[in-house]
């Protein structure tokens, strides 16, 4: 269980009368020991409100988690679907990257059907990085730019490049979307995320839920994500559930969209999860925000349909 509700008992009545605060396990494990001790006795399952517990990460590699012995029989957390298990596993993998690495690259070429096969282990080893000394090829500045320092040999430069590549894992859109849906710390992190070999962004500036989408001053793209309420019958527009004033036009690449995600009818998209690398701007009368897929490149979008 990746989420739990903190709800202290009040003198006015039952703890279940209070709205509570939802913690992701990734945020909870970052609290100091005293805070964890104060909160852990007042945790509940977010689905069925059964009393929950927190288990910290173990030395044998088990990840920190929330759990409960008091789930209702029909609680989704008690009998998670296969897709939910996959989302939680992917969220843990991405969270490991956030904790263990300085950067990550998005692999837009990874086909949807292949994305589940990568990183079957939740452990992401952190490669050793070369120290920044007078023999290092570059000195990294605070703003993320780099500047040459002492000249180095070709072999030293090649080795430094190899170490840099090892330290920058690659992930496909499906795993990133799964992790965002399950509340990983990716969206709030300082992780550098490369959208190609040249351009990079802080994760906290790159990933934007539809509810918070706003046109950027310079038309810079973002990774917009969330769920869909529906698509129009002609499959010209996708409509996010989180913001009724946003539309995603797909008419210009509709055939490629239907082929890539195996879509026949607009009704199949209701409730689907989606992530789009694109730019957000106003329509002519500023009554609706448009999210345009970057370069109309279908590889820069991913859809996860709901289960039957």
Last residue of a domain, one of 79, 96, 119: 79
Q: Which residues contact 32 (CB under 8 A, 6 or more apart)?
A: none
- Residue 149 confidence (pLDDT) above 70: no
Buried b (16+ CB within 10 A) or exposed e, 179-213: bbbbbbbbbebebbbbbeeeebbebeebbbbbeeb
- At 57 the pLDDT is 79
191 in a structural domain: no
Proportion of the chain above pLDDT 70, given as a percent: 76
Exposure of 192 in the CB half-sphere (CA atoms within 13 A)? 17
Average predicted confidence (pLDDT) for the chain: 80
Residue 18 has which token pair? 């209070």
154 in a structural domain: no
110 in a structural domain: no
More confident residue, 14 or 96: 96
Asked whether the beta carbons of 48 and 3 are under 8 A apart, the reply is no
Lowest-pLDDT range of 134-143, 158-167, 287-296: 134-143
Lowest-pLDDT range of 25-34, 54-63, 78-87, 157-166: 157-166
Residue 128 has which token pair? 């050793």
Reported in sequence order, the residue ranges of 178-234 that DSSP labels E, i.e. its strands, are 192-194, 200-202, 207-209, 222-231
44 in a structural domain: yes
pLDDT, one tens digit per residue, over 76-105 is: 887 666 777 888 889 999 999 999 999 999
247 in a structural domain: yes
pLDDT grade for 18, boundaries at 50, 70 and 90:
low
* Residue 242, domain extent: 208-304
- Residue 155 confidence (pLDDT) above 90: no
Last residue of a domain, one of 79, 107, 136: 79
Q: What is the CATH number of the domain that holds 254?
A: 2.40.50
- Residue 26 confidence (pLDDT) above 60: yes
93 in a structural domain: no
pLDDT grade for 153, boundaries at 50, 70 and 90:
low
Last residue of a domain, one of 54, 79, 104: 79
Q: Using the 8-state DSSP alphabet, how is residue 56 labeled?
A: P
Q: C-alpha 41: how far from its chain's center?
A: 29
pLDDT, one tens digit per residue, over 175-213 is: 999 999 888 889 899 999 999 889 999 999 999 999 999
101 in a structural domain: no
Proportion of the chain above pLDDT 90, given as a percent: 40
194 in a structural domain: no
Q: How many domains does the chain have?
A: 2
pLDDT grade for 248, boundaries at 50, 70 and 90:
very high
């Amino acid at each position: 269980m990746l989420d739990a509700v903190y709800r202290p008992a009040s003198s006015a009545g039952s703890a279940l009368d209070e709205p509570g605060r939802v913690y992701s396990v990734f945020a909870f494990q970052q609290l100091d020991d005293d805070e964890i001790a104060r909160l852990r006795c007042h945790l509940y399952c977010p689905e069925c409100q059964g009393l929950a517990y927190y288990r910290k990460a173990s030395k044998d590699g088990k990840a920190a988690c929330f759990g409960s012995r008091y789930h209702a029989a029909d609680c989704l957390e008690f009998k998670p679907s296969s897709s939910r298990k996959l989302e939680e596993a992917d969220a843990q993998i991405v969270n490991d990257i956030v904790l263990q690495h300085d950067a990550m690259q998005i692999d837009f070429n990874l086909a949807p059907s292949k994305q589940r096969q990568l990183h079957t282990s939740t452990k992401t080893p952190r490669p050793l990085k070369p120290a920044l000394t007078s023999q290092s090829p570059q000195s990294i500045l605070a703003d993320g730019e780099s500047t040459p320092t002492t000249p180095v040999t070709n072999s030293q430069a090649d080795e430094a490049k190899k170490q840099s590549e090892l330290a920058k894992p690659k992930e496909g859109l499906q795993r990133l979307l799964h992790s965002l849906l399950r509340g990983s710390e990716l969206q709030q992190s300082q992780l550098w995320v490369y959208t190609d070999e040249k351009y990079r962004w802080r994760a906290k500036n790159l990933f934007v839920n539809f509810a918070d989408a706003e046109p950027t001053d310079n038309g810079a793209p973002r990774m917009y994500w969330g769920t869909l309420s529906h698509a129009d019958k002609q499959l010209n527009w996708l409509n996010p559930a989180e913001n009724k004033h946003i539309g995603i036009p797909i008419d210009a690449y509709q055939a490629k969209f239907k082929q890539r995600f195996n879509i026949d009818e607009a009704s199949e998209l209701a409730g689907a999860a989606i992530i789009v690398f694109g730019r957000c701007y106003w329509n002519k009368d500023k009554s609706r925000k448009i999210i345009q897929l970057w370069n109309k490149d279908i590889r820069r979008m991913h859809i996860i349909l709901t289960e039957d």
